[in-house]
């Protein structure tokens, strides 16, 4: 469904004249709808979930000396549980130091992590020690290109009537409806609840359903699995 169709459907609910074109127009209400469409698309895409459709595999290739790497051109953010996996020692990911003071501390102390360490400063990924020549470190991130044009080329924002949202267009429409009403001082609680329900359903379908769990979880989802054998001295 093109963004023009989404906006037309929303207009029938919010009480506006259904437009035949949007992005080529300069009427105040249509300008507001364009802005709202892009804002709501950003919220859906990035504010609450790591959508499978938006995940991209990034690869950093070492040369034996470089310890800083530019982020990919379409980078939006890391996954909520991000890990960098080195090809040189593939049995454990690099240790993540999200705190810049801790990173500075291990740098000043010349501390050598057993499997390597990483952090993000500015628009770069920093890794120490340096990745060996031709070895790699791989990670998943979310792309900022959440829209496709009529030719299927991904891009950052809606700019034409025939652009398509890469995620659920119904969720986008419902989000625009409640936010428009809220912006205009109209009752919107029921519309927001409908949007939140639709978003939850779409999110649940993104990685398959998880409706019923039988029994208790035996270990934390993040727990490392113990060695299954017996160590004999």
Arithmetic mean of pLDDT, 46-75: 95
Are 139 and 73 members of one domain? yes
Residue 162 lies in a domain: no
Helix (H), strand (E) at residue 38: helix 28-46
Residue 148 lies in a domain: no
Q: What is the CA radius of gyration of the chain?
A: 23
Residue 122 lies in a domain: yes
Arithmetic mean of pLDDT, 76-98: 92
pLDDT in tens, 20-52: 999 999 999 999 999 999 999 999 999 988 999
pLDDT in tens, 91-140: 899 999 999 999 999 999 988 878 899 999 999 999 999 999 999 999 99
Residue 161 lies in a domain: no
149, pLDDT greater than 90: yes
Are 104 and 130 members of one domain? yes
Would you state the pLDDT for residue 228? 42
Residue 232 lies in a domain: no
Are 81 and 130 members of one domain? yes
Are 69 and 111 members of one domain? yes
Alpha helices in 73-168 (DSSP H): 100-108
Are 17 and 60 members of one domain? no
Would you state the pLDDT for residue 216? 44
Of 7-11, 195-199, 202-206, the least confident: 202-206
Residue at which a domain ends, from 143, 158, 177: 143
Would you state the pLDDT for residue 162? 98
Are 58 and 129 members of one domain? yes
pLDDT confidence bin for 90, thresholds 50/70/90: confident
Are 46 and 111 members of one domain? no
Are 27 and 82 members of one domain? no
Eight-state DSSP code of residue 86: E
Task: Work out whether the CA dihedral 45, 95, 91, 115 comes out positive or negative.
Answer: positive
Are 30 and 77 members of one domain? no
Are 17 and 66 members of one domain? no
The pTM for the full model equals 0.83
Are 94 and 171 members of one domain? no
Residue 38 lies in a domain: yes
Residue 227 lies in a domain: no
Would you state the pLDDT for residue 222? 52
217, pLDDT greater than 60: no
Would you state the pLDDT for residue 77? 95
Are 59 and 138 members of one domain? yes
Average pLDDT, the chain: 90
Q: Number of folded domains in the chain?
A: 2
Q: Which domain holds residue 22?
A: 3-50+167-206
Residue 87 lies in a domain: yes
């Amino acid at each position: 469904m093109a963004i023009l169709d989404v906006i037309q459907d929303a207009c029938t609910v919010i009480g506006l004249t259904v437009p035949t074109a949007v992005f080529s127009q300069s009427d105040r209400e249509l300008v507001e709808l364009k802005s709202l469409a892009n804002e709501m698309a950003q919220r859906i895409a990035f504010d609450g979930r790591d959508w499978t459709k938006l995940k991209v595999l990034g690869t950093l290739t070492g040369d034996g000396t470089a310890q800083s790497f530019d982020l990919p051109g379409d980078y939006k953010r890391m996954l909520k549980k991000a890990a960098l996996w080195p090809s040189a020692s593939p049995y454990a990911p690099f240790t993540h130091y999200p705190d810049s003071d801790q990173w500075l501390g291990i740098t000043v102390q010349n501390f050598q992590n057993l499997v390597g360490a990483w952090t993000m400063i500015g628009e770069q990924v920093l890794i120490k020690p340096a990745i060996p020549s031709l070895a790699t470190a791989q990670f998943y991130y979310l792309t900022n290109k959440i829209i496709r044009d009529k030719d299927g080329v991904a891009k950052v924002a809606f700019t034409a009537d025939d652009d398509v949202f890469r995620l659920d267009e119904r969720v986008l429409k419902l989000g625009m409806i409640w936010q428009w009403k809220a912006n205009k001082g109209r009752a919107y609680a029921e519309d927001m609840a409908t949007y939140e329900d639709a978003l939850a359903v779409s999110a649940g379908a993104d990685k398959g359903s998880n409706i019923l769990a039988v029994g208790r979880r035996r270990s934390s989802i993040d727990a490392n699995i113990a060695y299954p054998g017996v160590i004999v001295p």
